[in-house]
Structure 1
């Protein structure tokens, strides 16, 4: 059976459990899903500093994964912001994406889209990522709510009410054809509020799982070369052992 490695770039094991549950549910029996939690960094990525450290944690997690089990057939970075995406894609030798890139592609299929997520400081970070991934024109706007993704996940009932209104507001304000509900901690919530939103609502975790299914079938982006070619110093022994 093909395997998918999901890397959680923050240190929250509850987020890892949520990712494992929802990605495996979406993949069914077509994929063996294994989720790995970052060994260091922030419990929740919500700033430029925590994002910068998360880039390192993704490479470290990849290195650790290679010491624990056979090389996976694809990698999904389980953060709506995709830290480490370009670095890991450069040398993993297997298809790699993140929740944001997968969700952007799914939403763009409908036309222009907006993002709803938790944490005001994500706005410029996601705008920059959208530009880097070629979605500067299709991303019409970003609507952030005050609670972070972690805080939203801690109050599911309150989060659903708040997010449903935010998604309606985003659809109306930006006049889009789709809205992305972004965040690993919000996995599964889109299905609960989709009927209250006037345009298709994209769950970033579900989009990531769908990408993985297509990746292992060979219908997605081909993998890059295997190996990073860096003589690492003062990193974990697992990273030092990377080719």
Structure 2
């Protein structure tokens, strides 16, 4: 009797399909970023250029939250701390990238949260083509959403009216639930990360608290290294 289980790797076409759904959320969230950054005096060009180059909602919102009150140094620090989560994510996916150092570095630029989670096959393995496809769809959606947000910026309550301010936490919860569904071994890091975040948020700003909670990912990384040894 033939198995009806789908193949473990979806490839580029599957990545484009998955990325289309993620791109919708990215587009709506980018509208919020564009409107909020324009309202804080970034002008028309800076928000769009930022989305073109940075392409990270969490880092860009961290910059937005600190630039007006904490100065340039604290803004760079906050964004850097938020982006530090890509260190364990990059280590996890590195074994499935190809080529020399330069090519692997270029392939690593496709690493974003939604694509990384969608490309995870379990057991520390990743579908690199799915990763590429999912990110390729999200990037133009993120930039286009930012541009639209800048145009709609005069409506200061736009993101709250449309509920766009809840998209980021909702997206990360969905990604977490998907990871837990794929592998029950992810439960301990998830629970520890949640506990660390709850404790640290009482004493630290949001960015450092979230980075501190990401240390729990070391449990999963240690497990995968032991399994590969």
TM range (shorter): under 0.3
Larger Rg: 2
TM-score, with length taken from structure 1: 0.27
The structure with the largest helix share of the pair is 2
The structure with the largest strand share of the pair is 1
TM-score, with length taken from structure 2: 0.28
Structure with larger RCO (C-alpha < 8 A, sep 6+):
2
